[in-house]
Amino acid sequence: MHLADKLVVVTGGGNGIGRALCRRFKAEGAKAIVVADVNAVTAKQVADEIGGTAITCDVSREADVVALVKQAIAQHGGRVGQVVEKPERVISQPLIGI
């Protein structure tokens, strides 16, 4: 993976597969990792562990997802290079229109 210049957002990042992905993206050298989860406590735990940023987000709410991306870009600049969306599916595409 070429993640050195990438901002990565992992939803459901507070536990399970998402947490494992956060750790892997850290190991792969991602520029910045946003740990997004409906559970603010576990999101912060993972973010603290990997030196990332925690954002509370319920992916079933469109407004939360829009706010997540806007906040991630505001905090880290540029655009989101990779979105890993859990728990239902994984996508990897630019978020056009946000």
Residues between 33 and 92 with contacts to ligand NAD, criterion CB under 6 A = 37-39, 42, 57-60, 86-87
Give strand pairing partners of 7.
Answer: 32
State the minimum distance, in angstroms, from the CB of residue 14 to ligand NAD.
Answer: 4
- What is d(CA 58, CA 79) in angstroms, rounded to the nearest whole number? 21
Q: Which residue blocks in 1-98 are alpha helix, DSSP H?
A: 16-27, 40-50, 62-76
Task: Please state, in angstroms and rounded to a whole number, the distance separating the CA atoms of residues 50 and 34.
Answer: 10
Amino acid making up residue 14 = G
Nearest to residue 36, comparing CAs of 89, 94, 84?
Answer: 84
Q: Which residue is nearest to ligand NAD (CB)?
A: 16
At its nearest, how many Å lie between ligand NAD and the CB of residue 68?
9
Q: Binding ligand NAD by CB under 6 A: which of 3, 7, 8, 12?
A: 12
- Which of 39/71 has CB closer to ligand NAD? 39
Contact residues: ligand NAD, CB under 6 A:
11-12, 14-18, 37-39, 42, 57-60, 86-87
